Homo-oligomer: A and B are copies of this chain.
Amino acid sequence: MTTEVPRGSAGVPPRPFCFIGVVHSPFLTPSGTPAQPAYAGPDAVGTVEVFEEYAAGLEDLDGFERIWVVSWFHRAGAARLRVIPYLDYEERGLFSTRAPARPNPIGISAVRLLRREGRRLHVADLDLIDGTPVLDLKPYAAAFDSYPGSGEGWLRGRKDADGRGDDRFTAGP
C-alpha cells in the first residue's frame, strides 16, 4: 500500500475549518460539566444554534433521537500526550482518553435531540459548556455507531465513577 502523506512540513492542512454554530448551555465552565452525555442529569438541556448560512442542511435531522455534535473545545489548554483522565486516578496515553487537552481539541457528543425550531436544536444530555463552537452535526445511527459489547480497556470498572469535569484541562482566563 503506497500512501501519500497529505501534509506540509508543519502538518498544515490544505484548507482551514469553519464554525457552523454555537452551543448555548447552562454549564458556564468545564468544572462541574458532565464529562459525557451519559453522565448528564435532567439539568443538562440547552440549544445548538446553527448559523444562518448552514440552516438549509438541518432538514430531516428531526427524525433522529440522538445527534453527534462535533465540537471544538475552545477552553482546552495545550495538548498533553499523557493525562490523568476524568474517571481515573492513573496517567494514561491521551488517545486512550476523551480528555479535552488534545492536539486537535475536537469533541464528539451523542446528545439527545428534543426538537428542532428552525435553526435551533433543543437538546438534552448536553456535556458541552456555553459558547462551545460547533464544527459539524451528524445523525446518530445505531446501525453505524452502536457496539454495546465493545471491550472498554481501562474504563472497565471506572465508568460508574463521578462523571463531572473539573479544571485540569482548562486554559487560563
Name the B residues within 8 Å of A7 (CB-CB): 19, 22, 133
Chain A residues in the interface with B (C-beta under 8 A)? 1-7, 11-14, 16-20, 22-26, 36-38, 46, 49-51, 54, 56-68, 70, 72, 74, 81-82, 92-98, 102-104, 106, 108, 110, 130-131, 133, 135-156, 159
Could you tell me if A110 and B145 are in contact, using CB atoms closer than 8 angstroms?
A: yes
Interface pair B65/A96, CB less than 8 Å apart: no
Tell whether, in the assembled complex, residue A24 and residue B11 are in contact, meaning their CB atoms are under 8 Å apart.
no
Contact of A144 among B23, B59, B67, B98 (CB under 8 A): B98
Q: How far is the CB of A47 from chain B (nearest CB, A)?
A: 8
A96 engages B59 (CB within 8 Å): yes
A145 to chain B, nearest CB (A): 6
